[in-house]
Amino acid sequence: MHLSRQQLVLLVLLTLAWGINWPIMKVGVADFPPLTFRALSIWLGIPVLGVAMLLMKVPFFVPREKYRELFWLAFANMFVWHGLIILAVKNLSSGRAAILGYTMPIFSALFGAWFFGSQLQRRSWLGVAAAALGVSLLLWHELTNLSGRPIGVLCALAAAATWAVGTQKLRNTTMPVATLTISFWMTVMTAVVMTGLSALFEMPQWKAPPAISWASILYNAVIIFGFAHAAWFFLARTLPPIASTLSVMMIPILGVFSGALGLGEVLHWQDWAAVVLMVVAIASVLAPKRSGLSSRT
């Protein structure tokens, strides 16, 4: 498998944008209700994505017969993920929330092999195993405190597993529309859902966001919902499933270390060992096959 220049650039930018967003979200929800934070971020991000589509002359039209499929794509890729992961960020350290959230590639690789007909080579299984071990190491201290934080941990794992299913469904969709179009309408539907959940569970906590929360909301609106989600959906549709998932495993590594630098979250030897394992996982997927005699063995 070879990455095009466009795919490589998007992958690097996506990794940076999502990686440093974990401590940014943690700061944003420290003194602000998390579901309301998410709803505001999405609503402000929709115009950014819409303007980008207009400038790129991407149509907004989706055939009526595809509405049902679009809804379930949004449910699996965005509704559950955004609702649960922001609750996990509220209850866990930003680094640990990132690690738990990015168990998604492991779920996705396994679901793809078990239920979606993906064929994994031996070195891809090595990548899955390395990523799984890396996640286990990074969760070392979190597991010792599991009894005190079960809601955050379970929310993150449920979000990751559902997102993994959504990634596989997006990869296999036959919708005859641009990826940006799918991304736009999934984002609109998610804004409505998050607003409803915020009104249902957080209305007594509604208040004007403090300045630090506004900064975090604007970052999420412009960078995450205006760019990162569209970039991810493009990669998920154009790369093989195992590559489009394991290839972004550096995101939680960035989340861990940016949380340590920006928020003073303590790092342990497990964090450093996990960096090596994640690099092994990525290399096992993205490194080109050797030609010649070795390719026939």
How confident is the model over 85-136, as pLDDT tens digits? 999 999 888 887 887 887 777 777 777 777 766 666 777 777 778 877 877 7
Which of 174, 161, 68, 160 is CA-nearest to residue 114? 161
Alpha carbons 275 and 137: distance in angstroms, whole number: 10
Greater confidence (253 vs 173) lies with 173
- Integer-rounded Cα Rg, in Å, for the chain is 19
pTM over cut 0.85: no
What pLDDT is recorded for position 286?
60
Compute the 3-state secondary structure of the chain and give helix, strand, coil in percent, each to the nearest 5.
80, 0, 20
Q: How many residues does the chain have?
A: 297
The reported pLDDT for the residue numbered 297 is: 30
Residue with tokens 């997102």: 163
Lowest mean pLDDT, pick from 72-81, 183-192, 215-224, 257-266 = 257-266
pLDDT digits (tens, 9 = 90+) for 177-210: 998 999 999 999 999 999 999 999 999 999 999 9
pLDDT tens-digit series, residues 54-88:
999 999 999 999 999 999 999 999 999 999 999 99
**Separation between Cα atoms, residue 273 and residue 122, nearest integer Å:** 22
Cα separation, 22 vs 250, in Å, equals 13
pLDDT, residue 39, reads 97
